[in-house]
Amino acid sequence: MNGNTIYGDPDKYGLVYDEISLENAEKTYNDIMEKDKFTNAYGRLFADYMGITAGFFPVFLSAFIFKREKKKNEYEKTYSSKVSFSKYILGKYIGICICIMGCYFLLATYTTLAYSKFAFDSNSVIDRMAIYKYTFAWIGPTVLFTTAFDILISAIFDNPIAAIIVQLILCISGIHNLIGQYDFTKYVIRFNVFGEYDNYLQWKTTILQNRIFYTILSFVVVLLSSYVWTRFRKKNT
């Protein structure tokens, strides 16, 4: 980059480095290593960045799956079987979510192993379940909602491209707030700082309420999707 970045020329980009006292620096370090056991602090940052991808990339699976199966006449096979179409869609939905979450858990495993080696080499104590915890509780509801919402939009417009456009707009509009915005309008939540244990405790209850809300909402949206897809199929038969 020839030095043309915020790191090469911080004054040009208005980047200001704040000096902190030794006492505050030690407190920050102790909070990360003792209260957060390091990996909890990193787990929140991991969930922050991975949550952005979870807010958009599932659309490329969920928006196209029923359109593709419609072309393959899978609908007729489904309705001729004993499995209801609602159960069929729910099964597909759960399958997509498991596949997507599997990718995030693989990344969480790789990162956990890397920090386990760090802990062994430095004789430090870490929470080896921390990154899995944030992956499941933080990223999981985003994956559930994104996938369900994309299926619904694809069903309403009968066009996967519409789902991609709508999801892109929602994702971009919701990722600018880096911390502290956890109301029910935010399906992608951010905590774009490393550490800040006391600050995290302040927002913990609100974050938990947000994640529970979107988990429940996701299954409501899936049921609505099955109704829309069923009505669409009957209309065209």
Burial code of 107-120, b = ≥16 C-beta within 10 A, e = fewer? ebeebbeebeeebe
Domain ranges of the chain: 22-235
Q: Give residue 70's pLDDT.
A: 61
Cβ burial, residue 43 (10 Å; 0-12/13-18/19+): buried
Q: Give residue 109's pLDDT.
A: 96
Q: Give residue 61's pLDDT.
A: 86
Q: Residue holding tokens 């969480």?
A: 108
Q: Give residue 13's pLDDT.
A: 47
Q: How many CB atoms lie within 10 A of CB 94?
A: 14
Q: Which residues of the chain have pLDDT under 50?
A: 1, 6, 13
CB 178 within 8 A of CB 192: yes
Query: What's the whole-model pTM score?
Result: 0.82
- Nearest 5 degrees, angle CA 143-CA 54-CA 46? 115
